[in-house]
Structure 1
């Protein structure tokens, strides 16, 4: 980190993805999308076959850096996103402006007066006002109602209709981000589970699952600190790469193999310096490939065994399949190598997941109380449950609210 600080870019969101991989591996899911919603922004990523998709360029603000990172897409939508009605259009907008931690949402009693997504959740009853955030932070429903009433007055709606509108719009914004990492990359979100975490993620993940068609919804234990789980369970990793621009017809398996072995030795030296035993190191390889004369490049993963067994034609076929998946066609044009890369990882740091005792289908032992919430255009009476008391096999009829200390609430609809 001290020698190459550029590699720390986006490491926070990447920690959440790593933690999600840890949870999903124990839950038995290889293909899923991550939905990390905090106070000011939302980060989404796609994981296929247990591995997060990577990108070779990292963009921070207006600066693009040629450094590898997990392909996390970020948008300005969070619990603190401010709802407003521009005078010019009269249409409800949510974000990207945020109330931040200070003054924060009106319901937090820290001086905030503008209506936020959190205030809308409080008004609708999804975030119970008798809950203590983090065990000690009071929620003021009256202040939330006063803030959201500004939107209701501006649009000629009832208080709860305005609050529901705020939630619907922020959900649509986040749905767009999930489409960006799935549909626009050639993936069908219905083939993926959806994992929600972060302070606000569990409140919205079920609605996002309805919009995307993803199933099932996964909410890990301790969703507010999943990034820390990721940092604790991540694998030591380094990679070495070099430019190698050749048409497939102008090189050979032997030449490519020799270069890959040199790159692997360079990457392994980093893990050796960190005292990672050789027997715990795994090496995989990548090649950036394109059709000759084309600007678009795709990264193809393979092993040395794949290269020796299938030759460059095997890499070419994988490129054709990926290109067709993302762009709906493949070409007969000659293929061209651009970069070669060796990726070395240490042994998995996955720990043992905490088990949950088995129970029957009834969740009555975990029921705290009942309250009124606004769902599908009307008030409904729903049960509130304590997650710590739920057992494996319990079935909760929705709509319902499940409480956990480090994440305000989860609406199981």
Structure 2
């Protein structure tokens, strides 16, 4: 079976073709941002030709995309109208009490400056359902028809429908959809009871509006890509990565595109998990460094951690959809070094990007970047950039880094080391935030370096955090595309139950659990998943009475009994103790939301062993270069004769000591002073620190 992974980024589209015989073919092509489906299909044609197969021979097509994310960040979504309950027109504007300036009555809040739905298009109708799901005021269908006609006259492209307590009883929202289809056929419709069926009015309204905002453009893109793939006979359907780390079909993604908001970022975390497991180190911290940003994830035992639903944001907007916990910071190969008016030495978050890029690209860049610093230090030379196919000028890197040195009153070597060290420290702090401060010890993890620049920084970050080893994948630059091939088709269906372990409403929990299980199974069956490949996973959002935040814990299978409730409460006490360093076993636990995730099993790829070559790595040694290294951050940098290895020539068992440089088409790896590197049985470079 041949499986294709395509990850579309802002600059490059990464592609990987994996065959069950273990053969791998990779390709990178510039993204076509005006229509990413063009770059994807062109790249697939080149990839298939390189692999010696026809596109029609590809059995499964997996896809990660930033289309929905870019629409939000660039504020270029669709014109949206909203229909809501009388009295709640301004809920999107009021939002939450948490504000950038707590005591200021005069401030431009980000979500108010860029409204998802302009106030004139937020329309109200008579209806009301209480928190128990009982109808207090029947839906006034005349109101609905009048407001839908008004929105049609105004030319909106999507309509969001969000009523109070619709998560308890969706009948009014469902009837509004029927009326919209009668009065305004073809418009994109987003119901809160479909998109985010759980309590918290503002977050539910925001998520519904966000789904409508990105819906038309994203669904059109998905339909174009799926249509082109079908025409080329590539697989049965396009499966897209969601923010929760699962796959959905193009049908589901077109209906709820808000679920795709962190698609590519999560794929990188999944790829890192697969790489760690293949090397025998399942607990991983992933560091995916590109030109502009660094994505950081922590996966104990290879399991994704989910964000709290009040923390799931994209840009300035709340998106109350399941999201795996990955943090993005402004630190990458293009991060610009400056000295501000106060004399503070800073690197990032401003980036030179791909255009003009670092000064050494000779493409108009005039400011020093971290890439320029690493050229100055001898880690990167003209042959480092796409195996020499990209022309660079080291003398330009020296000129711009010298400007920083002059401002600091130091030499160019110390300035370059400072640029690198500041950026590496930013990444270290972000990793610490997501590990140490959340109850995980980095010394019990392995650091997986991904992206074009991740293997350049990982050796230093491991030293700073005490991480025992760094894992460098065979193809660091396409790890996100690899991650697309390592997960199942997954649908998560939540609902709010509001019960307590002290006096549990077992009938309510059991009835809702059965309903959610049926819905999740039905979605998978609609996608053509065989019953033998369907399984269900349960989880519960819990908190102590009086808390404002929940923690998600896994829930056991079986009947809903008092013992089942006790097991959930025990799991919550354990999670609370690990997360906050305190637990209250004598306190009752509040069960807020329950969730059922339907899993449609997909055959995973296998990372195949490579040829063994013994410990001697001299056959892969291509040259020796002068490079700048230091024993620790308090030591002066020194120019060292440094061996340079060709990644393509390394074999399993090869070992060498640092300092060393390993070069390949899509990345460069640094092995630091006092570190040792070994190529494992699947071709990953394992860099170990001397404790």
- Per the normalisation by structure 2, the TM-score is 0.58
Within-5 A mapping of 1:133-152: 133=386, 135-152=388-405
Label 1:306 to 1:206 Cα distance change in 2 as closer, same or farther (>3 A). Answer: farther
For 1:3, the equivalent position in structure 2 comes to 255
Equivalent residue in structure 2 for 1:402, among 648, 662, 668:
662
Within-5 A mapping of 1:89-238: 90-133=343-386, 135-238=388-491
Say which one has the larger Rg: 2
Q: How far off is 1:371 after superposition? A: 0.4
Q: Deviations over 1:162-190 (max 9, x none)?
A: 00000110011011110111011111111
For 1:337, the equivalent position in structure 2 comes to 591
For 2:624, the equivalent position in structure 1 comes to 370
2:614 maps to 1:347: no
**Contact conserved, 1:9 with 1:58, CA < 8 A, in 2?**
no
Q: How far off is 1:362 after superposition? A: 0.9
* Whole-Å separation in 2 of the counterparts to 1:63 and 1:309: 39
* Whole-Å separation in 1 of the counterparts to 2:596 and 2:464: 38
* Whole-Å separation in 2 of the counterparts to 1:319 and 1:132: 49
Equivalent residue in structure 2 for 1:240, among 490, 493, 501:
493
| Structure 2 unaligned blocks of 5 or more | 1-252, 631-636, 673-691
**Contact conserved, 1:16 with 1:228, CA < 8 A, in 2?**
yes
- Per the normalisation by structure 1, the TM-score is 0.96
For 1:382, the equivalent position in structure 2 comes to 642
Q: How far off is 1:231 after superposition? A: 2.0
Q: How far off is 1:126 after superposition? A: 1.4
Label 1:140 to 1:84 Cα distance change in 2 as closer, same or farther (>3 A). Answer: same
Q: Deviations over 1:357-400 (max 9, x none)?
A: 11211100000000011101111111000111111111111000
Label 1:330 to 1:369 Cα distance change in 2 as closer, same or farther (>3 A). Answer: same
**Contact conserved, 2:501 with 2:591, CA < 8 A, in 1?**
yes
* Whole-Å separation in 2 of the counterparts to 1:17 and 1:238: 19
* Whole-Å separation in 2 of the counterparts to 1:50 and 1:306: 29
* Whole-Å separation in 2 of the counterparts to 1:214 and 1:270: 42
For 1:51, the equivalent position in structure 2 comes to 303
Q: How far off is 1:24 after superposition? A: 2.1
2:531 maps to 1:278: yes
2:636 maps to 1:412: no
Q: Which segment drifts farther, 347-356 or 398-407?
A: 347-356
Q: How far off is 1:259 after superposition? A: 2.3
Q: Deviations over 1:69-111 (max 9, x none)?
A: 11110111110000000122x1210011110110000111111
| Structure 1 unaligned blocks of 5 or more | none
Moved over 4 A (4+): 252-255, 305-310
Label 1:257 to 1:27 Cα distance change in 2 as closer, same or farther (>3 A). Answer: farther
Label 1:311 to 1:366 Cα distance change in 2 as closer, same or farther (>3 A). Answer: same
Query: What SS is found at the alignment partner of 1:249?
Result: coil
Q: How far off is 1:43 after superposition? A: 0.6
Q: How far off is 1:127 after superposition? A: 1.4
* Whole-Å separation in 2 of the counterparts to 1:308 and 1:142: 72
* Whole-Å separation in 2 of the counterparts to 1:277 and 1:227: 27
Equivalent residue in structure 1 for 2:276, among 24, 40, 44:
24
Q: How far off is 1:125 after superposition? A: 1.1
**Contact conserved, 1:291 with 1:334, CA < 8 A, in 2?**
yes
For 1:392, the equivalent position in structure 2 comes to 652
